């Protein structure tokens, strides 16, 4: 007699691995206002970025013991907050200006793909993985991030209330949970609601983007935001018809990597500070983390345990006469 054995479906899930480069080097993370400024703005951007690319590559080579590192490049276009022109007009312009600066873009991504890609709600999935760091002495009186849409790195300023016997409590400052001598307190808006529609914030989508570049995003154990090869055909006239992540260079190293480096204007500094806060409070897929740890160990590469520490940046100063629009 055969005895039936029942197992939960989730117990059968396996985390599928993804190829990993040593470094994912982002050559641009611009918004539609940048493109509206004309080809000159792109030209200035790539000319400045080109100065830092060699340094990033040299740093990656040093970490690999002098061996030739596997480095892939990527470029992200904002089609989430605003849409300008069409892929057929915009993408060739980006590729042309990058090439003239001596740069090759291996992967092209749409920012809307960080919200939803291939019908998978990536941003919503990451939202469910947020784990707030409770400040010392807190007792759960603060609403959770799932209710407010705000994530902090410590204790917010308590509201001034009248205590027992009519005593009025004075103002108290906010306090960073992991402060060193003094606090640097941050409170980050992850989304807003308008007309029943959720609008994800720029820092939250950028955090999803970093997790994808680090090879740490999964849906039911399967990789998400997987690159699709470009066939060499004309780019579409509709952004929704452009794949969320497109592999432009067939000889490129893997899209995801042990570490990331992002080259961008210094006006994005506050946004990326917020990204690191989000990454510090995200419970990343344990199977994906284990795979990265095992593979990096086999290659003899040290990878920081903290996910946020795997992301590095180069912030450059834009020319005074350049158009410097504010990111969302």
**Model pLDDT for residues 204-221, shown as the tens digit of each residue:** 999 999 999 999 999 999
pLDDT single digits (tens) 136-188: 555 555 678 888 899 998 888 776 555 555 566 677 888 788 788 888 889 99
In a domain, 257, yes or no: yes
Helix (H, G, I), strand (E, B) or coil at 14: coil
Asked whether residue 56 is domain-assigned, the answer is yes
Identify the burial level of 186 via C-beta atoms within 10 angstroms of its C-beta, where 0-12 means exposed, 13-18 middle and 19 or more buried: middle
Interatomic CA distance for residues 170 and 161, integer angstroms: 9
* Secondary structure of residue 6 in the 3-state scheme: coil
Q: Where in the sequence is the domain holding 71, given as residue range(s)? A: 23-124+207-286
Give the pTM: 0.89
pLDDT exceeds 50 at position 308: yes
Mean pLDDT of 121-149: 80
Angle between the N-to-C axes of helices 269-280 and 202-213, in degrees from 0 to 180, rounded to the nearest 10: 60
Q: Is residue 59 part of a domain?
A: yes
Could you read off the pLDDT of 251-296 as tens digits, one per residue? 999 999 999 999 999 999 999 999 999 999 999 999 999 999 999 9
107 inside domain: yes
Confidence of residue 135 (pLDDT cuts 50, 70, 90): low
Number of domains in the chain: 1
Residue 229 falls inside a structural domain = yes
């Amino acid at each position: 007699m055969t005895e039936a054995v029942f197992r939960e479906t989730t117990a059968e899930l396996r985390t599928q691995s993804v190829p990993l480069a040593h470094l994912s080097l982002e050559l641009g993370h611009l918004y539609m206002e940048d493109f509206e400024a004309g080809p000159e703005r792109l030209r200035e951007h790539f000319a400045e970025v080109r100065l830092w690319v060699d340094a990033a590559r040299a740093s990656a080579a040093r970490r690999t013991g002098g061996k030739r590192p596997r480095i892939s490049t990527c470029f992200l276009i904002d089609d989430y907050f605003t849409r300008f022109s069409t892929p057929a007009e915009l993408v060739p312009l980006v590729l042309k200006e990058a090439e003239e600066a001596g740069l090759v873009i291996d992967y092209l991504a749409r920012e809307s793909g960080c919200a939803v890609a291939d019908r998978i709600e990536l941003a919503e999935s990451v939202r469910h993985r947020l784990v707030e760091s409770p400040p010392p002495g807190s007792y759960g009186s603060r609403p959770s991030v799932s209710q407010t849409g705000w994530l902090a790195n410590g204790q917010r300023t308590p509201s001034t209330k009248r205590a027992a016997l009519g005593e009025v409590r004075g103002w108290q400052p906010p306090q960073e949970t992991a402060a060193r001598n003094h606090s640097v307190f941050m409170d980050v808006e992850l989304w807003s609601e308008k007309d029943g529609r959720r609008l994800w914030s720029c820092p939250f989508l950028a955090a999803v983007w970093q997790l994808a570049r680090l090879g740490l995003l999964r849906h039911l154990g399967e990789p998400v935001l997987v690159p699709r090869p470009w066939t060499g055909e004309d780019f579409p006239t509709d952004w929704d018809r452009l794949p969320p992540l497109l592999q432009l260079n067939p000889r490129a190293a893997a899209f995801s990597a042990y570490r990331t480096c992002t080259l961008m204007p210094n006006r994005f500094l506050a946004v990326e500070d917020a990204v690191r806060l989000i990454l510090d409070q995200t419970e990343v897929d344990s199977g994906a983390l284990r795979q990265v740890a095992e593979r990096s160990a086999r290659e003899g590469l040290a990878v920081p345990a903290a996910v946020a520490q795997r992301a590095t940046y180069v912030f450059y100063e834009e020319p005074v006469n350049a158009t410097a629009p504010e990111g969302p």
